């Protein structure tokens, strides 16, 4: 693995604190370029 970005882009947990992930249900956020409504 490259050492170039090692520890440069570390995020804390991106999980929603009160969400139950045990059921296999996930919250997904999709962003588009310039916030164009590609998905309706």
Range of the domain at 16: 9-33
- Domain for residue 4, yes or no? no
- Record the pTM: 0.28
- Domain for residue 1, yes or no? no
- Give the position of tokens 């999709």: 30
pLDDT value at 36 more than 80: yes
Across 7-26, average pLDDT: 75
Q: 40 or 5, which is more confident?
A: 40
- Domain for residue 16, yes or no? yes
Across 21-38, average pLDDT: 81
18 and 24 Cβ atoms separated by less than 8 Å:
no
pLDDT value at 37 more than 80: yes
* Alpha-carbon gap, residue 9 to 39, rounded angstroms: 29
Instruction: Give start and end residues of each alpha helix (H) in 1-40.
Output: none
Q: How many domains does the structure of the chain reveal?
A: 1
Q: How confident is the model at residue 35 (pLDDT cuts 50, 70, 90)?
A: confident
- Domain for residue 3, yes or no? no
């Amino acid at each position: 693995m490259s050492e170039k970005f090692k520890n440069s882009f570390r995020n804390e947990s991106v999980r929603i604190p009160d969400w139950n992930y045990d059921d296999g249900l996930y919250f997904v956020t999709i962003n588009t370029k310039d916030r164009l409504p590609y998905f309706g």
